[in-house]
Chain A
Amino acid sequence: MSSLVDSLATLVASARAAVAASQSLAELEILSAELLGKKSVLATSQKSLASLTPEERKSAGASVHETRQILESLLADKRTALEGVALAAKLESEALDLGDVVVGSVRLPVQAGSPGIVALTQVALEDVFVGMGFEVADGPEIETDWYNFEALNIPPAHPARGMWDTFYVDLGEPETVLLRTHTSPTQIHLMREAVRNNSLPIHAVMPGRCFRRDTPDARHLAAFHQIEGLVVDEGITFADLAGVIENFTREYFGPDITSRLRPAYFPFTEPSAEFEITCTICRGDGCRTCSHTGWIELGGCGMVDPAVFAAVGIDAERYSGFAFGFGIDRCAQMRHQIADMRALTENDVRFLRRFS
């Protein structure tokens, strides 16, 4: 009985040395067979258990089991190490000094590439607005609550925050850092910068990716793209807003598509409106897409709320402004008649190739 335990201890010691000494995966496999195979010391010990008393068998069996585990883990560790060495050797053997690549002798395949449909749409929208005298501005995707909400006249815990399902980032105090739910915080950056640099007026559009904690469906994605416009200047009125919206609508969707405004609520504009355009499917005759109204909703707009001007330090007695925003993905969806928005993120190359 004790001799069995002793012999197992010897076995572990010698196995440890043998495993350490093995140089290759092939060697290790042979060793593995020797240590764990049918003719191994371990196997013999296992068989010898049968001749022991039940008492002895219990403790000796445990020793055999423990030994097997030790050996298996020794072998596994070594296998991982040797595989790593083998992989490293393989990777080393493939080493390539990229500076020595002879560009002239590399043949690149000929294929038609394509921008993404969102990028394509964004560029087209930017171009329309640039043509109308707008600059284009970018802003960060990760924002503070102040830029995304409070400066836009949506105070903490205000019910209006419920209009945006928000992804919060685990930074700072709870709910202070978030993924922007709209491109509007970029307005705040622009206005603060203009105040700092004394560089008003502002005429800008701001495209970008936004996030809402919404389960994706045919019309909504948790990540989406918006384009937002902001004009801050002297003498800007609601008539200018309506004129810009109408001009854009005809320019982007075509001369037979027109726009109309109806009252809405957004905390950062007053008066606020939703803008609708002639249904691009039925051209206003009424169809299922537009619920037989001839109109489809595109976005929101309004005159910049005096509370927003106050937050960024713009004199609301001297300056006035308007803002508008709508979905880039939604424009793409309407223009290309894509029934399910989720096609945009599935990256099926048969779909991606359609926008060459």
Chain B
Amino acid sequence: MRVPVSWLAEFVAIPSDLNELVAALDDLGLVVEGVERVGDGLTDVRVAQVKEIYPIEGADRIRRVMVDAGGDPLQIVCGAMNFTVGNFVPLAPVGAVLPGDFAIAERKMKGVTSYGMLCSGKELGLDADHSGLLLLDHYPGVTPGTPLMSLLGLTADVVLEISPEGNRPDAWSVKGIARDLATRFNQVFSDDISTAALLSAPHSELGHIANPEVCGRLNVVALTGVVVTSSPAHIAQRLEMAGMRPVNNVVDASNYVMLERGQPTHPYDTQHVAGGQLGVRTARSGESLVTLDGVTRTLGSPGRGLGDTGIDCVIVDGSDTIIGLAGVMGGGSSEITAATTDVLLEVAFFDPMTIARTSKRIGLRSEASHRFERGVDVDDADAVAQRFIDILALSSPDIRIVGRSVSSGQLPVREPITLNEHHIENVLGTPIDLATAERLLTGIGFRVDHIGDELIVRAPASRLDVREGLAGRADVVEEIARLFSYRELPRRVPTWPQPGRLSTRQRDRRQLRSIAVGLGWLEAWTPSLVSESDFAITDPATTPIRITNPLVSDEALFRRSMMVGLARAWARNAERGHGDVALFEVGTVATHPAESAQPRRDRGGVGGVLELALPEEREILTAVLCRPGDSAETAVASWHVFSERLGLRETEFVKGDAPTGWHPTRFAEVRDTSTGALIARIGEVHPSVVNELVLQQFSGSRVGLLEVELDAVTDRDVVRRRDDHVDVPSRFPSASFDLALVTPVGVSRHELERRLATAHDLVESVTFFDVFRGSQLPPGTRSLTFTVRLSSHERTLTDADILDGRTALLAAAATVGASLR
């Protein structure tokens, strides 16, 4: 909200130091986001009358002009051509500093000295016109030497751009902000509006409320003798400073009062309101209205928005025809025009949630709806109406009040809040005495009764944000703390007996990342929301999790895989010559609940009464290995490091079907041997995918691919880890020999290795170190070579021991059909 300081000063004495004011506002939660000086640089500008104009020899774009600016004639060199002798124009004399720190000094042009500058509207910061001088002839009472600001009715001011707390209805008004300041500075808050004229007006049937649940109060005032014209300069200037465009004196008065007091009002042209009466009711389904912006709005039916009741509050005329969308925007039919002479002024309290729902559904947020949906001050209605009349009377002095009416509906009712010193101390951690609390609350309009050691607090109608009960008590304590100043409150570092810690899962996540970094990989951050086409690369036959309202169509589906995102990140780097890289990401992927046998279920919907099936989220580490020489083999070797560092007890490679987007014949799943739990996938990006994503020069590259399931890794029940027991190696010499075993292709290396490792007590280790395939071997077999190391904790091995071990090893191999080559 843009607030001129001079406006605040009408309610409260403002400190002369602007910084002090800004700091106080910030500390009150009325954050000042900008400070703008208005009229700065115009104070020295005066009205000058053009007396003589001469050409300058050798120059056709500038002229010598003699002007009268209220003293001796002045010589000015001027490049504008839009004036003639007798015109009144603005003069910035030598020494003036125009907006934008533009200092005026004596200047010599073509040998002629200029003692000042005649100005355009743009040079003065008044408008955007730079085509010629700002001509002032039409201003009444224009005389040479008059200060420009007094001629234009401008006063120098400072405009504060204030961002109030979103919930506070009162802070969206000059009055509300001023009241906070008065309380903070312990100054008098003066708000004296004499409503005698209004209250003495006769009661007449001007309004009625058909649906009391949507309208708590409807005040209508009938005015006559209205002359529609432009507003006085200082009113127009205030509106402009506050960011609103002046329209005419009636609309301006309405806007002025809204900015000042926070209550939107609506003036109707009485002659275009059938029966000269206003009514409030809910719209019937299918009714419509053309709002002031020319758009037809269909009313009375709920939209798709959650919690939308479809109830719209409308203003109707005496024949029940809708003429306005209450609290949001009026209709065009009864708009104030130059011909208007009679005005019906509506000052109402509408149900905040009704306004909020309507404004959200039709996507129309106005200054009025913004205030109504927070709750306006119903107790201020008469002052608001009177203020409107007073402001309008400045430019339309013959207006008369011909009637008024007050209709009542349902207003919010709140129980008072009880508060004692303990309540305050329990929240703030410091005692604030009740007398101080009382002073602060009373200052901002709360009604406080101090009874014994308790305060009975009633929030004013301007503070509908203050609730009842425990929540209300918290609201009141916040007000006390805010006005007292948060910065004055003490700090304490709490302690508790429970130690801080990471969960197993979080430690495992960190370990996965640290292993990846140790392997020389770089961690990327790729989008969680992906395009249809990228999604289809890895998950064509699955149901995607679709975003209803994506920002761009390329980010419409929640990812189910990170492979394409990482491959794209690589491709972009490769195109810039930085493709020698392995990228990884630890992140969340999700599957549609329709694909889970038992999807996650949790409460949702209005009141949380629905049980919703939700996507299953998994956290995984995915890596793409894109360096020269990378392939499924480097992915396997990398996995080996993961497996060892994680201390996985016993895993095996299972061929399985490669997921879409993976190379179909260079793929394996890693599973826990005993539980069968899937821990990781290893392989390569499918060559077609590589070709699709990267530039020609990189097509044909092998891209190693690894995916590790954090959820599996961290679940010690399904993925077993080595226990803490450590076998200390034997101090006796060990014997080692190689075994090359012709093994059927159907028998996995893991399986054979496991048999060998458990073949005999003396086996210390079995290390796989070579594979050989060739026509020399029987069909359907390959030769696997292991180094076997035998040792004993009790003695040096004898030849007999070694032979015994070897025999056992070969026997174990034979159980899976493997034999010595």
What residues of chain B lie closer than 8 Å to A145, measured between beta carbons?
306, 604-605
- Asked if B463 is an interface residue, CB under 8 A from chain A, the answer is no
A306 / chain B contacts, CB cutoff of 8 Å: 469-471, 473-474
Given contacts A146-B604, A169-B545, A347-B526, contact A264 B165 (CB under 8 A): yes
Chain B residues with Cβ below 8 Å from A126 are 502, 506
B549: contacting residue among A130, A163, A168, CB under 8 A: A168
CB of A170 within 8 A of CB of B548, answer yes
Q: Does A96 lie at the interface of the complex (its beta carbon under 8 Å from any beta carbon of B)?
A: yes
Q: Does A171 contact B (CB under 8 A)?
A: yes
Task: Say yes or no: is B85 at the interface (Cβ < 8 Å to chain A).
Answer: no
Shortest Cβ distance from A99 into chain B, in angstroms? 4
B364 — which chain A residues lie within 8 A by C-beta? none
Contact of A352 among B490, B524, B638 (CB under 8 A): B524
Residues on the A chain within 8 Å of B665, using CB: 91-92, 94-96
B583 touches A347 (CB 8 A): yes
Q: Let me know if B675 is at the binding interface, CB within 8 A.
A: no
- A9 CB to closest chain B CB, in angstroms? 38
Within 8 Å by CB of B356, from A157, A203, A260, lies A157
> A98 an interface residue at 8 Å Cβ cutoff?
yes
Q: Which of A135, A169, A270 interacts with B558 by CB under 8 Å?
A: A169
**Which residue of chain B has its CB nearest to the CB of A163?**
B166
Residues of A within 8 A of B612 (CB): 144, 171-172, 176-177
A110 interface contact, C-beta 8 A: yes
Q: Provide the bound-state CA to CA distance between A135 and B501, in Å.
A: 5
When the two chains form their complex, are residues B608 and A167 in contact, meaning their CB atoms are under 8 A apart? Answer: no
Query: Which residues of the other chain, A, contact B450 by a CB distance below 8 angstroms?
Result: none
For the complex, what is the distance from the CA of A46 to the CA of B170, rounded to whole Å? 85
B555: contacting residue among A155, A170, A222, A261, CB under 8 A: A222
Contacts of B555 in A (CB 8 A): 222
Which residue of chain B has the shortest Cβ distance to A155 in the bound complex?
A: B307
Contact across chains for A265 and B29 when beta carbons are under 8 A apart: yes
Chain A nearest CB, measured from B766 CB (Å): 13
Q: Are A168 and B493 in contact (CB under 8 A)?
A: no
The residue that B495 contacts in the complex, of A131, A133, A274, with Cβ under 8 A, is A133
For chain B, which range describes its interface: under 10, 10 to 19, 20 to 34, or 35 or more residues?
35 or more
Contacts of A116 in B (CB 8 A): 523-525, 585
Residues 482-515 of B contacting A (Cβ, < 8 Å):
482, 486-487, 489-496, 498-503, 505-506, 510, 513-514
A305 vs B471: C-alpha distance when bound (angstroms):
7
**A285 interface residue (CB < 8 Å to B):** no
Determine whether B7 belongs to the interface, using a CB cutoff of 8 Å to chain A. Answer: no
- Partner of B614 from A138, A144, A167, A214 at Cβ < 8 Å: A144
For the complex, give the distance between the alpha carbons of A238 and B524 in Å: 39
Name A219-263 residues within 8 Å CB distance of B: 222-223, 231, 233, 235-240, 242-244, 246-247, 260-263
Minimum C-beta distance from A210 to chain B (A): 10
Contact between A109 and B603, CB atoms less than 8 A apart: no
Check if B608 sits within 8 Å of A150, measured CB to CB: yes
Instruction: Decide if A271 touches B501 in the complex (CB within 8 Å).
Output: no
Q: How far is the CB of A98 from chain B (nearest CB, A)?
A: 4
Interface size range of chain A in the complex: 35 or more
CA distance A307 to B471 in the complex (A): 6
The answer to whether A261 touches B614, judged by C-beta atoms less than 8 angstroms apart, is no
Using CB atoms, name the residue of chain B closest to A151: B608
Task: Say yes or no: A111-B520 contact (C-beta < 8 A), given A101-B636, A203-B496.
Answer: yes
Q: Which residues does chain A contribute within 8 Å of B666, judged by CB atoms? A: 94-96, 98
The residue on B at minimum CB distance from A162 is B360
Judged by a CB distance under 8 angstroms, whether A217 is at the interface is: no
Give chain B interface residues in 237-271, CB to chain A under 8 Å.
none
- State whether A113 touches B520 (Cβ < 8 A): yes
Contact B491 A243 (CB under 8 A): yes
Contact of A100 among B491, B500, B521, B782 (CB under 8 A): B782
Shortest C-beta distance, A265 to chain B (Å), equals 4
Closest approach, in angstroms, between the C-beta of B511 and any C-beta of chain A?
A: 12
Do A222 and B551 touch (CB < 8 A)? yes
B518: A residues at CB distance < 8 A: 113
Q: How far is the CB of A211 from chain B (nearest CB, A)?
A: 7
Q: How close is A288's CB to chain B, nearest CB, in angstroms?
A: 14
Residues of B within 8 A of A98 (CB): 632-633, 636, 653, 666-668, 682-683
Q: A146-B604, A155-B307, A171-B593 are in contact. Are A100 and B528 (CB under 8 A)?
A: no
Is the pair A353, B522 in contact by a Cβ cutoff of 8 Å? yes
| Interface set, chain A 120-136, CB cutoff 8 A to B | 123, 126, 129-136
Looking at B51-59, B314-322, B424-432, the stretch in contact with chain A turns out to be B424-432
Given contacts A109-B629, A263-B28, A263-B165, contact A97 B520 (CB under 8 A): no
A114 contacts partner chain B, Cβ-Cβ < 8 Å = yes
> Among B65-73, B145-153, B217-225, B767-775, which stretch is in contact with chain A?
B767-775
Pairwise interchain contact A101-B471, C-beta atoms closer than 8 A: no
Q: Which of B373, B569, B603, B664 contacts A144 (CB 8 A)?
A: B603
A100-B782, A156-B307 given; A112·B520 CB < 8 A: yes
Cβ of B712 under 8 Å from chain A: no
What are the nearest 8 A-B pairs in CB distance?
A156-B307, A239-B429, A263-B29, A144-B604, A237-B429, A111-B520, A271-B478, A265-B165
Q: List 23 A-B contacts (CB under 8 A).
A: A98-B636, A99-B668, A99-B749, A104-B769, A111-B581, A113-B522, A115-B523, A116-B524, A123-B510, A126-B506, A130-B501, A132-B500, A159-B166, A176-B605, A203-B500, A209-B588, A223-B527, A238-B489, A240-B494, A261-B487, A262-B487, A263-B165, A265-B167
Which B residues fall within an 8 A CB radius of A?
Answer: 26-29, 31, 165-168, 304-308, 353, 356-357, 360, 373-374, 425-430, 467, 469-471, 473-475, 477-478, 481-482, 486-487, 489-496, 498-503, 505-506, 510, 513-514, 516-529, 545-551, 555, 558, 569, 572-573, 576, 578, 581-583, 585-588, 590, 593, 600, 602-608, 610, 612-615, 617, 627, 629, 632-634, 636-638, 640, 652-653, 655, 663-668, 682-683, 687-688, 745, 748-750, 767-771, 782, 784
Extra inter-chain contacts (8) besides given A98-B653, A141-B590, A345-B525, CB under 8 Å: A118-B525, A136-B502, A162-B360, A170-B547, A237-B425, A247-B493, A271-B474, A345-B526
